[in-house]
Amino acid sequence: MIRRNLREIQEMSSGFSLKKEHEKITINGVSTDSRNINIGQLFVPLTGENFNGHNFIYDAIKKGAVAALWNQEEPIPNIDFPFILVDDTLVALQKLAKAYRSQLSTKVIGITGSNGKTSTKDILASLLKTQYKTHKTFGNFNNHIGVPLTILDMDEDTEMAVIEMGMSNLGEIELLSSIAAPDVGVITNIGEAHLEDLKTKENIIKAKLEILKGLNPNGLFLYFGDDSMLKEKVKSIPMNYEVMTFGIKPSNTYQFQVGFVNEKGVSFFLKNPISPTFFLPMLGKHQIYNATAAIAIARYFNISFENIQKGFLKVEKTGMRNELVHGKEFTILNDSYKSNPTSVLAALETVYSMEGYNQKIIVLGDMQGLGKYEIKMHEEIGQKINSNKVDFLFTIGPISRHIGKTAIMSFGKNRVTSCTDKSQLVAELKKVIKPNALILVKASRALQLEEIVDKLKEETFLLHENMVI
């Protein structure tokens, strides 16, 4: 993590008014949350519509903060404590991270995309760890606050950093790219996420390509080459970077061939360039795309095929994304972190490929952020679910009922249930679950369907009295 004296912190954050006697105090790390301050850290209070971190300065001090950035318009507490005044604490945090990044020799890989960026991050970090000291984005710290905090959490001797970059509108990836200054920029794919804000796929592509704004001129740009619209857009942009693509089509720099897909993981190899067969213990064919992108970057940094396979076996996965939760009576595929049409279809394919279960149940909640086509896209999902490979379909939320409405045509009314709240959903599920069932739970983050996962685990003792024979 960042270790600098306060004189340096003031300069790096464009601050002012630090007292002379405080200049040599050294901070060890940065936190924006007074509840999680560690001894020796710099406290950066942020403000929003419903909160003001400046109100928690005394809590931060009690926890061990040694200094704070401070919005100059906020009243300064009458205490002997080091304050560095700034115009805006969020902007100062971003400036501090950008300055710290510029002082490090770390190679930074920035990853964005509509789907797969978190899994690609996790896979790539594991591959790089086989040969380099590697740092990666924790959880979903991928926005205008999370990216600066991820950078400031890096040790100075970090050799590789894998930084996930999320967005909801134009201009956001450009900001993150300017802060992280990546040596490698990756676009995993372009999907339907953010249509509500960006309206068209063309705008989504434009937003994702902002990752090039901060890319090292001598760096690498890797993108999903199976997307013809993205490929045409890239061709129209003058580039001095090395450019590579990945995917299943022969035209890609890195082209994969599927071996097998089952409940233990995926097997695949590269047709171009030729590689050994790899095994990745992650669920779903879509993970092969993520793994191929990770291989391309790992090879760019001279990771051997042998170490790539070792890295695949040690991936530390971020939770609530294709996460298998094993209960005594049934198994839950917890994919409750996000949802859009592309990721739903990928999750369904994963369920279809998993064998050895007595029953398969799908629980789908609203896919949010799809804009004016949201009803049509939900209806299309209902039409595409294979009723021969799924026993029951449950939906929750006002928009997802359109999934159920169209799915009834193939499932029949008795196998489709649309629920209005979580209590009803759990009650209806308990009526049909058999032992050794597989249950997919997937929805957009706002629905918090991990609560359903937790509730189902608590209810396993009721299965035998309610099970359907």
Check residue 191 and give its pLDDT.
Answer: 86
Is 95 annotated for ligand binding?
A: no
| Whether 197 and 290 share a structural domain | yes
For residue 343, say whether it is annotated as part of any ligand binding site.
no
Instruction: For residue 315, give the nearest of 132, 163, 129 by alpha carbon.
Output: 129
- Counting the structural domains of the chain, the total is 3
**Is it the case that residue 165 has pLDDT exceeding 80?**
yes
Does 40 share its domain with 56? Answer: yes
The pLDDT score that the predictor gives to residue 320 is 66
The angle that helices 401-411 and 374-384 make with each other, rounded to 10 degrees, is: 30
Do 124 and 83 lie in a common domain? no
Q: What's the angle, vertex CA 208, arms to CA 203 and CA 210, rounded to 5?
A: 100
CATH code of residue 164: 3.40.1190.10
What pLDDT was estimated at residue 423? 93
| C-alpha atoms less than 13 angstroms from C-alpha of 136 in its C-beta half-sphere | 24
What is the Cα–Cα distance from 108 to 281, expressed in whole angstroms? 26
- The answer to whether the annotation marks 113 as part of a ligand binding site is yes
**112-130 as b/e, with b when 16 or more CB fall inside 10 Å?**
bbbbbbbbbbbbbbbbbbb
The per-residue pLDDT for 194 is 72
pLDDT band at 292 (very low <50, low <70, confident <90, very high): very high
pLDDT tens-digit series, residues 246-267: 999 999 999 999 999 988 899 9
Percent of the chain with pLDDT over 70: 97
Same-domain status, 303 and 393? no
The answer to whether 271 is annotated as binding is: no
Task: Kindly write down the DSSP assignment for every residue of 336-383, as one continuous string.
Answer: -S---HHHHHHHHHHHHH--S-SEEEEEEE---S-GGGHHHHHHHHHH
51-76 pLDDT, tens digit each: 999 999 999 999 999 999 999 999 99
Q: Is the pLDDT of residue 221 over 80?
A: yes
What mean pLDDT do residues 320-324 have? 77
Q: Do the domain assignments include residue 256? A: yes
The last residue of a domain, from among 54, 76, 96: 96
Q: What is the pLDDT of residue 457?
A: 81
Asked if residue 110 and residue 91 are part of one domain, the reply reads: no
291 shares its domain with 372: no
Kindly state the average pLDDT of the residues 280-287: 94
Q: Which residues of 218-246 are buried (b: 16+ CB within 10 A; e: fewer)?
A: ebbbbbbbbbeebbebbeeeeeebeebbb
**For residues 430 and 44, what is the distance between their CA atoms, to the nearest angstrom?**
47
Question: In this structure, are residues 445 and 320 in contact, taking their beta carbons and an 8 Å threshold?
Answer: no
- In this structure, are 85 and 172 located in the same domain? no
User: What is the rounded average pLDDT for all residues in the chain?
Assistant: 93
Distances from the Cα of 12 to the Cα of 99, 108, 158, 201, 413, angstroms: 6, 20, 20, 38, 63
Pairing, β 437-442 against β 330-335 = parallel
Residue 116 marked as a ligand binder: yes
Pairing relationship of beta strands 184-187 and 83-86 according to DSSP bridges: unpaired
Residue 460 above 60 pLDDT? Answer: no
Question: For residue 403, how many other CB atoms are within 10 A of its CB?
Answer: 30
Q: Is 118 annotated as a binding residue?
A: yes
Q: Which of 256, 279, 312 is the last residue of a domain?
A: 312
The whole-number pLDDT of residue 259 equals 95
- Res. 465 pLDDT band, cuts 50 70 90: very low
What does the pLDDT average to over 304-325? 90
For residue 317, tell me if it sits in a domain. Answer: no
Report the percentage of the chain scoring pLDDT > 90. Answer: 86
Domain with residue 84: its CATH number is 3.40.1390.10
Q: What is the pLDDT of residue 198?
A: 85
**139/275 same-domain check:** yes
Comparing 164-173, 189-198, 334-343, 427-436, the range with the smallest average pLDDT is 189-198
Range of the domain at 231: 104-312
For residue 459, the model assigns a pLDDT of 65
Report how far residue 177's alpha carbon sits from residue 198's, in angstroms, rounded to the nearest whole number.
Answer: 19
Residue-level pLDDT at 461 = 43
376 labeled part of a ligand binding site: no
For residue 462, pLDDT over 60 is answered with: no
The torsion angle over the Cα atoms of residues 65, 68, 73 and 75, rounded to 10 degrees, is 40
Segment 172-200, tens digit of pLDDT = 999 999 999 999 999 999 988 778 778 89
Residue (of 63, 42, 16) closest to 148 by Cα position: 42
How much is the pLDDT for 464? 45
- 456 against 178, higher pLDDT: 178
How confident is the model over 280-309, as a mean pLDDT? 97
H or E segment at 71?
A: strand 67-71
The two structure tokens encoding residue 305: 């095929």
The pLDDT-based confidence of 240 (bands split at 50, 70, 90) is confident
pLDDT at 468: 42
Give tens-digit pLDDT for 106-141: 999 999 999 999 999 999 999 999 999 999 999 889
Q: What is the pLDDT of residues 7-30, one digit of tens each?
A: 999 999 999 999 999 999 999 999
Q: Are residues 297 and 422 in the same domain?
A: no
